[in-house]
Amino acid sequence: MRTNCCRPRPVGRKSLVQLVVGIGVLTALVGITGAQTHTPPRSDDHLFKISPMTASNATTKRNALINFLWGSSGFPTTQPTSHQFICTSTSSCTTRSPVQNLNSLQSVEALIISQSQGSGNPQLTTVAYHFRPTVPNNRLVIMHQQHACYLDDGPGSGKTDQGTQRTIAALLAANYSVLAMTMPHFTPANELINIPQGDCTGDHNGMFNLTLPSGNPLKLFLEPVARAINYLAQNASPTYSNFNMVGLSGGGWTTVVYSALDPRIKISIPVAGSVPLFLRAEPYSHDMEQFLPAFYGAVSPPVTGLAGYLDLYTLGSFGTNRRQIQILNRHDDCCFGERQHITSVLNVGFDAAVRDYEARVKTAVGQLGSGSFRTIIDEVSPIHMVSDNAIFNVIIPALNGNAINTTIRAVWGGNLCVDIPYVGRPPQNNDSLQIYQCHGGSNQMFFPSSDGTIRTASGALCLDIPDVGRPPQSTDRLQVYACNANANQRFTLQNDGSIQSQWDPSLCIDIPNVGRPPQNNDPVQVYSCNGGINQQFSVNR
């Protein structure tokens, strides 16, 4: 039975500001919406099953997963069952495209993929739509939809805006081609390709009752991606230099598992798609594909399984020029956010749990010798969605090879972020920092650099303790200043959430405690490190 948190939310479209303002109301309702009994996770996948962590053993593990999924058939080498162009010009795509309001669109090709569900069962049909921009850069991004029987959730669609249309539009505008896909049994109708009814049953758990000629029904979620890539790798003109993958929710889960199996995926960005099973207090496993015991393992009855999520994240990150960037929405109203993290059962807070497994996967990928892994907590996204913050500050920069900007969220006071006051002009030297409601604007975007500086979105200004001819001291107010990498601009991000000055390691970034919770426009200063909550911040590293 599908849990409610896997379905798109039936809420109307709202502006980002309206949704962010509503977070306080949503948080107040947690005690009501979360009023159910939680038990420990059904699977303890906290240990790596790739052991020891070597390139050879990683390849062996990948081959074992492929064998489990496809058996003697091996990894798919076939192509789609059929394909046809829906439109081949900007004007014709205006009305015929399955996703509307795409300004940089040149053509749309439908790839129809049929899979056997075993003797006596109808074929399972999936449609992938290949969008080409007017000025292609010859790189392809797969955008994989969640448990939803549509791709167009944009303006005028009547669907909840969860970011699929916005992501596709942004990728096309950045000259990326897009392959948009849905999950099994979520194929929308399209009479232009002779699919008048579609398949919107969404019965995923029932798929695991199928008896297939070889392999496991889990492959039915993954094979359409492989066959579509096989086709595009051979037939796209001009050819693609690499393949990348983004997915939301169930599509994020697909992104994690598929990128673990296929090294052709160079950059994978799952959004609100999974956390390790040992961090999911029951009932919180989602559909069977997320926790299949024979694949992942189980606690009761004891089942070893082949790969936990830590292994999958590692395999999806490992390899030359490969990266996996996982995005979790802190305020998610569905899946894998802070509200779904049950600290009372798991005995660890959300941020600490996320940073722990992130660090462990980073270490594992480092041992393998190539690749990278990061987990980004999106402080701005108000619901289960791909936010504009994720699109423009994580996804597009990551694909372009640029720095990923992030917020510096105060743990004390809820939804407050370090902020450069907006006074009608770009920031400049000596602008003092404050905290303000997190909104994802450029004046709240920073990126920690390897030299210890914390730079603004432009990269020109850095967080700075004013040098007034003496060593820094408590209550010195933090500012931004032209980056120079001097000691007064270097900081260390500690595991306890504190941000320690390298100029004077006894001082930490601090929100003044004036006997009340922090509020908009409170200053940001340095103060003697004390481990207090007013010195704890959530920073994506």
What digits encode the pLDDT tens for the residues 519-540? 999 999 999 999 999 999 999 9
Residue 93 is assigned to a structural domain of this protein:
yes
Kindly compute the dihedral angle of the four CA atoms of residues 279, 282, 286, 292, in this order, to the nearest 10 degrees: 80
Work out the burial of residue 90: count CB atoms within 10 Å of its CB; fewer than 13 is exposed, 13-18 middle, 19 or more buried.
middle
Last residue of a domain, one of 348, 380, 400: 400
Q: In this predicted structure, what is the pLDDT of residue 34?
A: 44
Sheet with 454-456, edge to edge strand ranges: 446-448, 454-456, 461-464, 479-482
The three-point CA angle 198-391-183 to 5° equals 20
Q: In this predicted structure, what is the pLDDT of residue 93?
A: 97
Residue 331 is assigned to a structural domain of this protein:
yes
Residues spanned by the domain of 90: 76-134+178-240
Last residue of a domain, one of 400, 425, 454: 400
DSSP letter (8 states) at residue 533: G
Assess whether pLDDT exceeds 50 at residue 9: no
Closest Cα to residue 112, out of 100, 130, 96? Answer: 130
Assess whether pLDDT exceeds 50 at residue 204: yes
Q: In this predicted structure, what is the pLDDT of residue 338?
A: 96
Residue 28 pLDDT level (bands cut at 50, 70, 90): very low
Q: In this predicted structure, what is the pLDDT of residue 322?
A: 98
This prediction has a pTM of 0.92
Q: In this predicted structure, what is the pLDDT of residue 302?
A: 92
Last residue of a domain, one of 189, 223, 240: 240
Assess whether pLDDT exceeds 50 at residue 12: no
Percentage of the chain lying above the pLDDT 90 cut: 89
Assess whether pLDDT exceeds 90 at residue 33: no
Give the span between the Cα atoms of 142 and 528, in whole angstroms: 48
CATH number at residue 485: 2.80.10.50
Q: In this predicted structure, what is the pLDDT of residue 320?
A: 97
> Is 245 in the same domain as 222?
no
Q: In this predicted structure, what is the pLDDT of residue 402?
A: 93
Q: In this predicted structure, what is the pLDDT of residue 24?
A: 37
Q: Take residue 33 and report the two structure tokens written for it.
A: 């919406």
Cβ contacts of 355 within 8 Å, gap of 6 or more:
375, 495
> Is 323 in the same domain as 444?
no
Q: Take residue 296 and report the two structure tokens written for it.
A: 């992942």
Residue 468 is assigned to a structural domain of this protein:
yes
Work out the burial of residue 122: count CB atoms within 10 Å of its CB; fewer than 13 is exposed, 13-18 middle, 19 or more buried.
exposed
> Is 480 in the same domain as 416?
yes
> Is 222 in the same domain as 324?
no
> Is 262 in the same domain as 276?
yes
Mean pLDDT of 510-514: 95
Mean pLDDT of 10-19: 35
Q: In this predicted structure, what is the pLDDT of residue 37?
A: 87
Closest Cα to residue 495, out of 367, 354, 377, 366? Answer: 354
> Is 383 in the same domain as 260?
yes
Q: What is the mean pLDDT of the chain?
A: 92
Judge contact between 405 and 454, C-beta under 8 A: no
Q: In this predicted structure, what is the pLDDT of residue 364?
A: 98
> Is 480 in the same domain as 332?
no
Assess whether pLDDT exceeds 50 at residue 376: yes
Q: In this predicted structure, what is the pLDDT of residue 284?
A: 87
> Is 420 in the same domain as 464?
yes
> Is 70 in the same domain as 82?
no
Assess whether pLDDT exceeds 90 at residue 36: no
Give the span between the Cα atoms of 285 and 2, in whole angstroms: 10
Residue 157 is assigned to a structural domain of this protein:
no
> Is 204 in the same domain as 274?
no
Give the span between the Cα atoms of 431 and 173, in whole angstroms: 34
Q: In this predicted structure, what is the pLDDT of residue 458?
A: 87
Dump pLDDT digits (tens) for 452-501. 999 999 899 999 999 999 999 999 999 999 999 899 999 999 989 999 99
Residue 166 is assigned to a structural domain of this protein:
no
Residues in the chain: 541
Pairing of β 323-329 and β 265-271: parallel
The total number of structural domains that make up the chain: 3
Dump pLDDT digits (tens) for 332-364. 999 999 999 999 999 999 999 999 999 999 999
Mean pLDDT of 60-87: 97
Angle between helices 223-235 and 250-261 (to 10 degrees): 60
Assess whether pLDDT exceeds 60 at residue 234: yes
Give the span between the Cα atoms of 209 and 395, in whole angstroms: 37
Dump pLDDT digits (tens) for 256-292. 999 999 999 999 999 999 999 999 999 888 899 999 9
Assess whether pLDDT exceeds 70 at residue 1: no
Q: In this predicted structure, what is the pLDDT of residue 423?
A: 87
Residue 451 is assigned to a structural domain of this protein:
yes
Residue 9 is assigned to a structural domain of this protein:
no
Q: In this predicted structure, what is the pLDDT of residue 35?
A: 55
Cβ contacts of 171 within 8 Å, gap of 6 or more:
141, 143, 178, 395, 396, 399
> Is 249 in the same domain as 192?
no
> Is 449 in the same domain as 391?
no
Dump pLDDT digits (tens) for 129-161. 999 999 999 999 999 999 999 999 999 999 999
Assess whether pLDDT exceeds 70 at residue 296: yes
Residue 159 is assigned to a structural domain of this protein:
no
